[in-house]
Structures are given as C-alpha cells and as structure tokens.
C-alpha cells in the first residue's frame, strides 16, 4: 500500500491534533486518529465556504491512511471547490489534498472560536494546545456542534 501524499496542517495547530487523540487519565481521547479531526475540520471549513492559505506547516498524516469514506469526502470537497466543478481535479491528487488542507485550517479556526477557546493554551513557541480534564464538557460540546451543523442544509446540495 502506498503512503500517498503528505497532508499538512499549520504548525500552530499540531498540538491540538495530538492532544485530542491522546488518552490520559486527566484528559480523555476525543479522536482515535488525526485523520478523523482533519476530515472534520475540512468539512467545517467547506461548509462555511472559507479556506486559508497555509504557512509554517507540519506534516500531520499520509493520504494513504485515510479510509475510503474520508478520501471520498475530501475528493467531493475538491470537486465542488474547483472552478470547473468537474471531475478533472481528481487527476491531481496533490491539489485535492492542498484544498482539503486549506479548508481544514479554516475549520480548525472555527472550532477554536466556537468550542475550543476555553480549553486553549498558547505555548511559548506560539503553538496552541488543548488543556482540559475529565470533567470538561469538550466532547459533548463538539458532538452538539457537529449535530447542529447536521440539521442545516447539506453543503453538497
């Protein structure tokens, strides 16, 4: 199996990805793998119709680790985002993932403002991390946020 393309996120957010997939007594795991949060962030950014140019990035994962459904979601977003809105963009896998990265960056910004803000701590190097404990309602807030987005109109219609 090929590892595929490298998928990057803004270095500032890398610790948020790591923290939300780490299972510790003081902070329960929210995501099993980075790819799950990445696809959620891409979807949220797309739903809001905004994407950011990435600067100062760090590799998060290989595209080959995405499951079939996650890869299909990112490809659908790329097709819908392309100027022609046709399938030719699928011939350029790197472009598909660059678009997903841009939407994921915006999606992470949105999650920080809407949900993570009370739990965010800025490190000395400027990166952000999540600080919470087992009593925090972070998981409930995230589920509620995603569920409320679900009630709205699908971005693919």
pLDDT tens digits, one per residue of 39-62: 999 999 999 999 999 999 999 999
Rounded average pLDDT over 64-89: 90
Query: At a CB cut-off of 8 Å and minimum separation 6, what does 48 contact?
Result: 106, 107, 110
133 contacts: CB under 8 Å, gap ≥ 6: 26, 27
Domain ranges of the chain: 6-151
In what helix (H) or strand (E) does residue 6 lie, and over which residues does it extend?
strand 6-10
Q: Cβ contacts of residue 17 below 8 Å, gap of 6+?
A: 9, 34, 37, 38, 60
pLDDT over threshold 90, residue 13: yes
Average pLDDT over residues 109-134: 88
pTM over 0.85: yes
1 has a pLDDT exceeding 60: no
Which position has the higher pLDDT, 135 or 108?
Answer: 108
pLDDT range class, residue 154, cuts 50, 70, 90: low
Q: What is the mean pLDDT of residues 106-132?
A: 91
| pLDDT higher than 60, residue 135 | no
For 56-71, what is the mean pLDDT? 95
Comparing 21-25, 42-46, 55-59, 95-99, the range with the smallest average pLDDT is 21-25
Of the candidates 70, 80, 72, the one whose C-alpha atom is nearest the C-alpha of residue 49 is 80
Decide if pLDDT at 132 tops 80.
no
Lowest mean pLDDT among 12-21, 30-39, 81-90: 81-90
> pLDDT higher for 139 or 78?
78
């Amino acid at each position: 199996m090929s590892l595929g393309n490298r998928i990057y996120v803004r270095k500032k957010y890398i610790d948020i990805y790591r923290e939300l997939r780490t299972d510790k007594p003081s902070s329960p795991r929210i995501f099993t793998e980075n790819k799950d949060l990445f696809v959620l962030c891409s979807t949220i950014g797309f739903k809001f119709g905004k994407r950011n140019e990435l600067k100062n990035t760090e590799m998060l994962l290989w595209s080959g680790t995405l499951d079939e459904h996650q890869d299909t979601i990112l490809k659908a977003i790329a097709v819908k985002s392309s100027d022609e809105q046709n399938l030719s963009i699928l011939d350029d896998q790197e472009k598909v993932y660059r678009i997903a990265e841009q939407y994921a960056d915006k999606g992470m910004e949105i999650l920080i403002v809407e949900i993570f803000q009370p739990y965010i701590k800025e490190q000395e190097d400027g990166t952000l991390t999540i600080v919470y404990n087992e009593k925090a309602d972070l998981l409930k807030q995230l589920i509620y946020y995603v569920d409320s987005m679900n009630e709205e109109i699908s971005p693919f219609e």
